[in-house]
Amino acid sequence: MMKPPVRVAITGGAGQIAYSLIFRVASGEMLGQDQPIILNLLEVPQALTTLKGVMMELQDCAYPLLQDVAITDDPNVAFAEIDYALLVGAAPRGPGMERADLLKINSEVFKIHGKALNEQANRKVKVLVVGNPANTNAFIAMKCAPKLDPKQFSAMMRLDHARAVNLLAAKVGVNVSAVENIVVWGNHSANQYPSIAHALVNGKAASSLVEQNWVENEFIPAVQQRGATIIKARGKSSAASAASAVVAHMRDWAMGTEKLVSVAIASDGSYDIPPGLVYSFPVTIKNGEFSIVQGLDIDKFSRSRMLVSQKELEQERDIILDLLG
Ligand code: NAX
């Protein structure tokens, strides 16, 4: 039996990630083959013509699950009664721009989007922030949406998680499905901490299969720098893999998973991460709610890496709190 349709908003609809993502969502890959979808696509005014072209292609796919599609440059229209918000759109980092400048520009975007979600979205909306700096943008949107529960906001670490799984599986010579319990802690930035400390490969401790030297000097930098490595090779940033990660993140959020995945959410103080900071944790998901996996041993090496990411996020938060006033 078909379910009633759900409304999904995707921002940055004319961008590269969206060009992959929109079609996968409309085909039913994200929410299932029994879930009809209404899509609201948001862009800046100057990209609306391009977005119209994307919409025409989408219509030409004749996806049976797609009940309607609308394009707009008004967040209040895009977010009206939506059940899922995929916040992909953000201003890119221009030449010579500092991270703080990017934060400042995107704080304005996510302030507006947070307020529009607060007023317009379904009260149970699930929000995923992809646009960078993703963790802090999620923090801003959350703060600007006081009528929504902070637990309704997340930032995407799933691409980093998948990169770490892939690199470990390749090193050990197994299929990715043999790898469990990878955790990517912290910020979606070059200071993230991809950890194999609790990872299993075919049920065996990953740490017994690889050298610590490889972990510290090859694996961690390779995961942290994977985005830059792809830009170098492709001339553009990751797009199809990012879309794939969005689909996996939202599917798990909607349908649940007992497997450990990495998700950036507001800290509840677990693992001594300051409450409220949007930090990536190991989570499982049930009934649409994230639970941070408790009780993992954190050794000295892990703690020092987790702290680097924490400090970066605290700095970003402090810049933003000043801007939000
Ligand atoms: P593109 O520059 O191709 O597309 C972004 C689109 O967003 C553009 O079409 C732009 O017009 C639109 N946009 C800008 N401001 C907007 C606003 N206020 N409202 C609506 N739309 C707006 O970038 P793309 O490669 O698609 O990447 C999108 C974002 O994802 C970037 O911020 C990127 O850094 C980030 N990423 C995050 C990842 C993650 O794992 N969290 C990985 C992939 C990606 O790098």
Work out the percent of the chain whose per-residue pLDDT is above 70: 100
Take atom 2 of ligand 1 and give the residue whose Cα is closest.
15
> Domains in the chain and their CATH numbers?
6-155 (3.40.50.720), 158-315 (3.90.110.10)
State residue 99's pLDDT score.
75
Q: Is the CB of 111 under 6 A from ligand 1?
A: no
From 22, 41, 43, the mutation candidate for ligand 1 (largest count of ligand atoms within 8 A of CB) is 43
18 C-alpha to center of ligand 1: Å? 8
Q: Please state at what angle helix 240-255 crosses helix 16-26, rounded to 10 degrees.
A: 40
Q: Is the CB of 22 under 6 A from ligand 1?
A: no
**Ligand 1 atom nearest to 17, measured from its CA:** 26
Q: Which atom of ligand 1 is nearest to the CA of 46?
A: 11
In angstroms, the CA 175 to CA 169 distance is: 6
pLDDT above 80 (res 186)? yes
Tell which wins on pLDDT, 321 or 4: 4
Strand duo 278-286 + 289-292: pairing: antiparallel
CA 51–ligand 1 middle distance (angstroms): 14
Give residue 313's pLDDT: 97
Q: Which protein residue has the closest C-alpha to ligand 1 atom 25?
A: 16
Residue 185's SS3 state is strand
Q: Which residue's alpha carbon is nearest to atom 20 within ligand 1?
A: 43
Q: What is the pLDDT of residues 89-131, one digit of tens each?
A: 999 877 777 778 889 899 999 999 999 999 999 999 999 999 9
The sign one gets for the Cα dihedral 292, 298, 303, 305 is: negative
- pLDDT grade for 227, boundaries at 50, 70 and 90: very high
Return d(Cα 135, Cα 146) in angstroms, integer: 18
Distance CA 44, CA 108 (A): 13
Q: In the prediction, which pLDDT does 252 show?
A: 98
The residue whose C-alpha atom lies closest to atom 12 belonging to ligand 1 is 12
Instruction: Please report the atom of ligand 1 found closest to the CA of residue 236.
Output: 25
Q: Bridge-partner residues for 30, per DSSP?
A: none
Q: Look up residue 58 and give its two tokens.
A: 């989408």
What percent of the chain stands above pLDDT 90? 93
Residues 280 and 81: their CA atoms lie apart, in Å, by 28
CA distance readout (Å), 94 to 42, 98, 105, 226, 307 = 22, 9, 11, 20, 28
Looking at residue 133, its pLDDT comes to 95
Tell me the pTM.
0.98
Nearest CA to 185 out of 273, 257, 244 is that of 273
132 Cβ closer than 6 Å to some ligand 1 atom: yes
How far, in Å, from the CA of 311 to the mean position of ligand 1? 25
Spatial distance between the Cα atoms of 103 and 105, rounded to a whole number of angstroms = 6
Is any ligand 1 atom within 6 A of the Cβ of residue 114? no
Determine the distance separating the centroid of ligand 1 and the alpha carbon of 111, expressed in angstroms: 16
User: Quick check: CB of 48 below 6 Å from ligand 1?
Assistant: no
Q: Assess whether the C-beta atom of 72 lies below 6 angstroms from ligand 1.
A: no
Residue 50 Cβ contacting ligand 1 at under 6 Å: no
Q: 179: which 2 tokens?
A: 């790898």
DSSP element (H, E) containing 266? strand 257-266
What are 251-306's pLDDT values in tens digits?
A: 999 999 999 999 999 999 999 999 999 999 999 999 999 999 999 999 999 999 99
Would you state the pLDDT for residue 2?
79
CA of 281 relative to ligand 1 center, distance in Å = 23
* pLDDT band of 23, cuts 50, 70, 90: very high
The reply to whether ligand 1 has any atom less than 6 angstroms from the CB of 223 is no
Q: Where are the beta strands (DSSP E) in 98-223?
A: 126-129, 153-155, 179-180, 183-185, 193-195, 200-201, 204-205
Q: Which two tokens stand for residue 252?
A: 């798990």
Overall average pLDDT of the 65-81 stretch: 98
Round to whole Å and give the CA distance between 235 and 81.
38
Active site residues: 188
Please give the average per-residue pLDDT across 183-211, as a whole number. 98
Ligand 1 binding pocket includes 15 (Cβ within 6 Å): yes
